[in-house]
Amino acid sequence: MRRREFIAISLLAPLAMSGGAWAGPASDTVPDGRPHRFGFGERRFELDGRPFRIRSGEMHPARIPREYWQHRIRMAKAMGLNTTAIYVMWNHHERRPGVFDWQSENRDVAAFIRLCQAEGMWVYLRPGPYVCGEWTNGGLPAYLLPDPDIKLRTKDDPAFMAATLRYIGQLAAFVKPLMAANGGPVLMIQVENEYSMFADDVDYLHALAEMWRVHGIDGPFSVSDGWKDLEQRKAYLPGAALGLDGADVDTLGKGPTYAGDAPVWVGEGYPGWLTHWGESAFAGKDYVDTLRSIIRAGYWFNLYVAHGGTNFGLTAGSNAEDDGSQFQPVITSYDYAAPIDERGRASPAYATLRDVITREAGVDAPRPPADIPAGRFAPFTPAAKASLWDALGQAVELPQPGPNEVLFGQDQGLVVYRKRVGHGGTLRLEGVRDYAVVYADGREVGHVSRVTHPAVSSSPDVTIAGEAVIDVLVDTFGHINFGPRLGDHKGLVGPVTFEGAPARDVQAWPLPLDGAWLDEMPALRGAPTRGGVLFEGALSLDKAGDVYLDMSAWNKGYLWVNGRLLGRYWHIGPQQRLYCPGVWLKHGANTVRVLDLHRTEGAPISCAERMHDGLA
């Protein structure tokens, strides 16, 4: 999904364009289990030889509890949509080389696709290998990163291409019978995402399409890009449907310059927008007039996103400038100001967009399903239970700090570095990725943040008053998901010096947040004296349903409910409330654990029904 400026929107475009006019009767066929011929006519999509109008809305199974999939699909259908676009996040399914998970929890992509079919929705499959999507590393597996010489998204790196072929082979095995030609709902497959925003090697796109062909899927294929980037790098796969991201009607009319007679459509139209940690408010967009003009001009569209969901766990990605500056991690919520909000309810934009789609496209949409109930619990204050400083165990002896992925094979999480100095001076931490708290003899003396924000901005220099044992606790955000810094390493990747001399012979403790150390931490024997404390409390559910846990009284850290990592919280906001689906809660007491990097005393956690009070 594009991360730079929007293309300006023209509301004065003509009402019919040769590239997208709805000439002739259109097919209203639904996926019924029988084979259907989906393909491309002259600048249009066709189903069984008749023009087909794709009215698509995107949602991602990986961001939605499986129990809510059907509800979200029905909400999208009730908007007047007939197609569901799906990103498949490669790293959600293959965390270790060759070890795939297509079954557990919300990873059963085939089941989601079959559910779309059961609800009368076609599917537009967008499996990467790269998806961006504000997802860590753009969906590419972190196991690729320990190799410092790996080159991502290129046919010229054998290791990357071998891993990609293995991934596509896995996907193709269950996607092939789900293609429309075989009686399934999948209309077409996007071979890569926004490649002209990254590189210009068209042969790489050909290689990806060939990977699908050798596994028995010969398209139809699509690509998606921003117009300015396409003009600059011209990375278009000949014959593919051309999705233009953020495009207005005038821009869509230019598409045949590259696509020829292949369809041109809005690959991503933005009814909302993403939000980063530290921004002053939640982002949003008004897409009503834009969508109306696109439909009137006879073009097809995919709303990115109809429903965003949540970046549960450590799945949220980050953005940055091309040189790595202006690092911007994405918040835990992926509400996106979408027409279907994080909890699956109709947002203020839902009714107006639904009205535009049904009126302008002339469709009769079903009524939306009932909302998922909201839950309720009384405020509670978790108590300090353990300290990570008591759970470090055996140190790893290192000649110097470095990337987590290379040194420890660890993706995200925490790392502690320790070094004794014999006198006072300046500790300089360059290349902190992404947040470090510094202690001298157990006393917090400073922090270094990669994020620029008035509340947390800092110098890389931390003053050490005298002889001391220095501990540096390094915390991470998701990997950069867009641009040339894709695949950034985590940890202390830059020079670490004390009084100008490189730090040598350090001790280190890698602390993955899915590691056993969290459950094996010894109980506290007294009041904690520094951050890195694990707190525990009981959430007593008075009323069953979805809840938001208000973390505004806390500082920075991670929140688990009944063993599930909901995600990150941070006092700089704008997000202060983390979503917990009701299906992950039980009536009565639920175990809540909080790992805070700064607090030594617990703080209240209260119940909220919405992500923020500005929502309807």
Rounded-to-integer distance, Cα 363 and Cα 360, Å? 8
Strand partners, 165: none
Element (H, E) at 258: helix 256-259
Q: What is the 3-state secondary structure (H, E, C) of 44-108?
A: EEEECCEEECCEEEECCHHHCCHHHHHHHHHHHHCCCCCEEEEECCHHHHEEECCEECCCCHHHC
Q: How far is CA 333 from CA 95, 134, 248, 487, 494, in A?
A: 22, 11, 28, 22, 30
Asked if residues 186 and 196 have their Cβ atoms less than 8 Å apart, the reply is no
499 in active site:
no
Asked if residues 218 and 237 have their Cβ atoms less than 8 Å apart, the reply is no
268 in active site:
yes
Residue 596: phi and psi, rounded to 5, are -110, 135
The catalytic position among 58, 134, 192, 268 is: 268
Residue with tokens 């399934």: 184
Bridge pairing between strands 83-87 and 122-126: parallel
Mapping DSSP to helix (H, G, I), strand (E, B) and coil, where does residue 490 land?
A: coil
Asked if residues 242 and 223 have their Cβ atoms less than 8 Å apart, the reply is yes
Give 582's DSSP letter. G
Give 182's DSSP letter. G
Other Cβ atoms less than 10 A from the Cβ of 380: the count is 17
Rounded-to-integer distance, Cα 521 and Cα 308, Å? 35
Q: Which of 559, 536, 564 is nearest to 549 (CA)?
A: 559
Bridge pairing between strands 301-303 and 55-58: parallel
The catalytic position among 46, 58, 192, 194 is: 194
Rg (CA), the chain: 25
- Give start and end residues of each alpha helix (H) in 119-242: 158-175, 202-214, 227-233
Residue with tokens 């939605």: 64
Catalytic residues: 194, 268
